[in-house]
A and B are shown apart, each in its own frame.
Chain A
């Protein structure tokens, strides 16, 4: 009987958030992707398997030539980018170069949940310069939000990136995707 109730509880807990298209990234995770957002294919360079980082990015609406992005990635043990979730957080929740000279804003790291899984959550406000390496580029304000989900083997990062003009309106789509997230490598 206890198994029945446990199974029922798990089923209820795993109910997907309203809206969005179900998406499965191989053996790594499932989540609901906002309607109309398009998956970005990886470029050249090292493959996911070579980096041991698996996941996907989805493009949403755009402003100032930059699109809103939703990223979900699994960093396997031994990956080439970030050895631990703590290192990922240190490099993204505070200036990676050790000092903030350009007025970026970093929010505190809090505890939260991605789906039903414990996560470290933080936000930041940064900039893009367009065009790149130009003398007088346009400065575009960017809002980002991160959910870092540690698991027994490796960790996950759910990432929201948006030009400030679009950040507020699209945040709810990201949060819905986060609420629907389920890691398969636990």
Chain B
């Protein structure tokens, strides 16, 4: 005897049966309905399942076979479909952030998904970071300690820090502070600890001579210094860390990496901090530090000092002083490097790119006459100085003005290394060709983004809007997620790998080491080799495909409710729909269809791109003659140099 279906399962089947028939639509079977129900239950906060493993199953099943089941669900019961797809993707994304990242990168990712996106909070996960702790304990065994340390929870700070902070903060007020602020507009835990560590470091260094003479200086100051280094590290404050290392050497402690967590020595924290405070003098005066009120000081969290060019020895022993390129000179570079004239891609970059699979694909993109009528493939190449968010970038494509920009810092570096001025560069054809070789991988990368922009626009996936507050102009743009970077890096990796095959090692010497590294990864491990790099600090500010899917599908929740309500009204026997309601219903269905299509087709594109790039990789043979002459070196012991 067939078991009695539960009410909701029956309801799903009934909804599906009653829904307007779509030509070729898949019929919802009982098994389908059960699967959908299981996925809805998984993300129902009342049921408290929230399993990331189940979320993975749901995400795969919804998109299997071209996403038929998801299409059916989004048409027949849009509200439930939005919940099931958005929330299961959000759970998988949350799991990935906590598993793949540590410390500040984890905290930044959590800020993005817990406080800025609105999906996880529907399942009582967030916005406060500590609210996720029970979920981590239940579903991510082995990551509990890393999670708490990542969000800098009060109980992971250790006594040195809590004693220092307790003048202005308690555990309760600490829990109100977000772990890491992505916009640099609000106080956060990492910045708070950084400012304390910065000030404490300066105090310590100012009194270092006295400290070094202390009877048991290593025991007194060693643990404190390790904590200070740990808090300076996320902001790349290498100068202070180096000074602290020197201080440690002075008191006979070998410098080492910041501890992974509060050490046993931290239990002596109060005594240690008191010792440090004694150095400050009995009457320190000064303000009680208002940590939470401090504005961050624009330290380059990305590490390194951008824009500084060292003086290098000149060819005849005279020092060569690099000359930065002017705006007027940079304006000449764009058209000379690359332009489309009479439908043909010309310039040094065009010459550099032709003859490779990646390059030829992009040349074809620029020369596509049909596309030219839409303006989507218009080449607007500019060399500009990166500022603020782009200061440290090699290049960037902007979908609002459709301009590809390459950072003039690359040109300055290029000229400095060759000991030429920009004026000499512009007059030297060989140097210009070499510059094209140097920037071509970046140009391939950014043009891939332009092509993605066109792909999205052609399909109507530029459904996001941004209104310029100054001009009122409304820009349309598409969701941005990590798979776009996976494709772009694989394209520049493939490009360089193929150029190397054709031109040999001399070509590689013209490039930046990053471009060589990408090519190597692509050859070693395909597209996955480039995806896997993302478990570091880089790109934690960008949503994964799962995270972006959660966000964009969830953004259609209200539309789904309206479609649901209007569709039910339309099916009522004596209901009279107004013209406005019929229009709203159709537009709502179209909007939902677009969002779900974006999700489904973007996932499919990711597979198609990867297949193509792996196919190209098979054709590129790195086993050239050079390998037979290479000697392999003896491997040093790990940790040794």
Q: Taking beta carbons and an 8 Å cutoff, which residues of A are in contact with B? A: 35-41, 43-46, 50, 59, 61-67, 80-81, 90-102, 105-108, 123-125, 127-138, 140, 143, 162, 164-165, 167-168, 171
Nearest-CB distance from A43 to chain B (Å)? Answer: 6
Across-interface contacts of B528 in A (CB, < 8 A): 45, 81
Residue pair A102, B531 in contact (C-beta under 8 Å):
no
Residue pair A46, B143 in contact (C-beta under 8 Å):
no
Partner of A41, one of B92, B509, B607: B92
A138 to B190, CA, bound (A): 20
Nearest-CB distance from B77 to chain A (Å)? Answer: 25
A62 to B637, CA, bound (A): 20
Across-interface contacts of A41 in B (CB, < 8 A): 52, 56, 92, 95-96, 99
Across-interface contacts of B11 in A (CB, < 8 A): none
Residue in A closest to B531 when the chains form the complex, CB atoms: A43
A137 to B512, CA, bound (A): 12
Partner of B633, one of A39, A46, A105, A168: A105
Q: Taking beta carbons and an 8 Å cutoff, which residues of B are in contact with A? A: 52, 56, 92, 95-96, 99-105, 140-143, 146, 236, 257, 260, 302-307, 386, 392-394, 407, 409-410, 413, 442, 445, 483, 486, 489, 496-497, 500, 504-505, 508-509, 513-514, 516-517, 519-520, 523-528, 531, 533-539, 544-546, 603, 606-607, 610-611, 614, 622-624, 626-627, 630, 632-639
Residue pair A93, B632 in contact (C-beta under 8 Å):
yes
Across-interface contacts of B622 in A (CB, < 8 A): 91, 96-98
A46 to B613, CA, bound (A): 12
Partner of B635, one of A61, A124, A134, A168: A124
Residue pair B633, A135 in contact (C-beta under 8 Å):
no
Residue pair B523, A130 in contact (C-beta under 8 Å):
no
Across-interface contacts of A91 in B (CB, < 8 A): 523-524, 622
Nearest-CB distance from A72 to chain B (Å)? Answer: 15
Given contact pairs A37-B142, A95-B520, A101-B505, A135 touches B393 in the complex (Cβ within 8 A): yes
A65 to B538, CA, bound (A): 9
A102 to B105, CA, bound (A): 27
Residue pair A62, B102 in contact (C-beta under 8 Å):
yes
A174 to B527, CA, bound (A): 25
Listed from nearest, the 8 A-B pairs whose CB atoms lie closest are A136-B304, A107-B635, A62-B102, A167-B638, A96-B523, A99-B505, A132-B538, A65-B537
Given contact pairs A129-B513, A164-B639, A62 touches B146 in the complex (Cβ within 8 A): yes
A143 to B413, CA, bound (A): 30
Across-interface contacts of A164 in B (CB, < 8 A): 638-639
Given contacts A91-B524, A108-B635, could you give 6 more A-B pairs where the C-beta distance is less than 8 Å? A41-B96, A45-B607, A95-B627, A105-B633, A107-B632, A167-B639
Nearest-CB distance from A42 to chain B (Å)? Answer: 9
Residue in B closest to A36 when the chains form the complex, CB atoms: B142
Across-interface contacts of A168 in B (CB, < 8 A): 637-639
A164 to B483, CA, bound (A): 29
Residue pair B516, A101 in contact (C-beta under 8 Å):
yes
A20 to B527, CA, bound (A): 31
A97 to B393, CA, bound (A): 25
Residue pair A138, B306 in contact (C-beta under 8 Å):
no
Residue in B closest to A87 when the chains form the complex, CB atoms: B623
Across-interface contacts of B52 in A (CB, < 8 A): 41
Residue pair B638, A38 in contact (C-beta under 8 Å):
no
9 interchain pairs (CB within 8 A)? Answer: A40-B100, A41-B92, A44-B483, A45-B607, A91-B524, A106-B633, A135-B392, A137-B302, A171-B638
Given contact pairs A95-B520, A135-B410, A136-B304, A44 touches B535 in the complex (Cβ within 8 A): no
Residue pair B517, A135 in contact (C-beta under 8 Å):
no
Nearest-CB distance from A159 to chain B (Å)? Answer: 10
Partner of B524, one of A46, A80, A96: A96
A44 to B524, CA, bound (A): 19
Given contact pairs A45-B483, A134-B304, A99 touches B626 in the complex (Cβ within 8 A): yes
Nearest-CB distance from A97 to chain B (Å)? Answer: 5
Residue in A closest to B506 when the chains form the complex, CB atoms: A99
Nearest-CB distance from B145 to chain A (Å)? Answer: 8
Residue pair A98, B627 in contact (C-beta under 8 Å):
yes
Across-interface contacts of A59 in B (CB, < 8 A): 99-100, 535
Residue in A closest to B307 when the chains form the complex, CB atoms: A135
Nearest-CB distance from A66 to chain B (Å)? Answer: 5
Nearest-CB distance from B537 to chain A (Å)? Answer: 4
A175 to B483, CA, bound (A): 33
Given contact pairs A99-B626, A100-B630, A44 touches B603 in the complex (Cβ within 8 A): yes
Across-interface contacts of A138 in B (CB, < 8 A): 236, 303-304
Given contact pairs A46-B607, A65-B102, A136 touches B303 in the complex (Cβ within 8 A): yes
Residue pair A38, B142 in contact (C-beta under 8 Å):
yes
Residue pair A45, B531 in contact (C-beta under 8 Å):
yes
Residue in B closest to A162 when the chains form the complex, CB atoms: B638
Max chain A CB contacts within 10 Å: which of B95, B489, B525?
B525
Partner of A107, one of B407, B544, B634: B634
Partner of B525, one of A37, A81, A135: A81
Residue in B closest to A165 when the chains form the complex, CB atoms: B257
Across-interface contacts of A127 in B (CB, < 8 A): 517
Max chain A CB contacts within 10 Å: which of B409, B514, B520?
B520
Residue in B closest to A134 when the chains form the complex, CB atoms: B392
Residue pair B527, A45 in contact (C-beta under 8 Å):
yes
Residue pair B603, A98 in contact (C-beta under 8 Å):
no
Nearest-CB distance from B619 to chain A (Å)? Answer: 13
Max chain B CB contacts within 10 Å: which of A61, A135, A140?
A135
Max chain A CB contacts within 10 Å: which of B531, B539, B639?
B639
Residue in B closest to A141 when the chains form the complex, CB atoms: B641
Residue in A closest to B102 when the chains form the complex, CB atoms: A62
Given contact pairs A81-B525, A91-B524, A96-B523, A132 touches B142 in the complex (Cβ within 8 A): no
Residue pair A45, B610 in contact (C-beta under 8 Å):
yes
Residue pair A97, B635 in contact (C-beta under 8 Å):
no
A131 to B514, CA, bound (A): 10
Given contact pairs A65-B536, A99-B505, A132 touches B637 in the complex (Cβ within 8 A): no
Partner of B610, one of A46, A65, A124: A46
Residue in B closest to A145 when the chains form the complex, CB atoms: B638
A167 to B636, CA, bound (A): 12
Given contact pairs A37-B142, A41-B92, A131 touches B606 in the complex (Cβ within 8 A): no
Nearest-CB distance from A183 to chain B (Å)? Answer: 21
Given contact pairs A38-B143, A99-B508, A129-B514, A108 touches B632 in the complex (Cβ within 8 A): yes
Nearest-CB distance from B312 to chain A (Å)? Answer: 16
Across-interface contacts of A165 in B (CB, < 8 A): 257, 639
A46 to B60, CA, bound (A): 12
A132 to B534, CA, bound (A): 8
Nearest-CB distance from A71 to chain B (Å)? Answer: 9
Across-interface contacts of B637 in A (CB, < 8 A): 168
A131 to B538, CA, bound (A): 5
Max chain B CB contacts within 10 Å: which of A90, A91, A95?
A95
A143 to B641, CA, bound (A): 11
A168 to B641, CA, bound (A): 13
Residue pair B635, A133 in contact (C-beta under 8 Å):
no
A59 to B536, CA, bound (A): 12
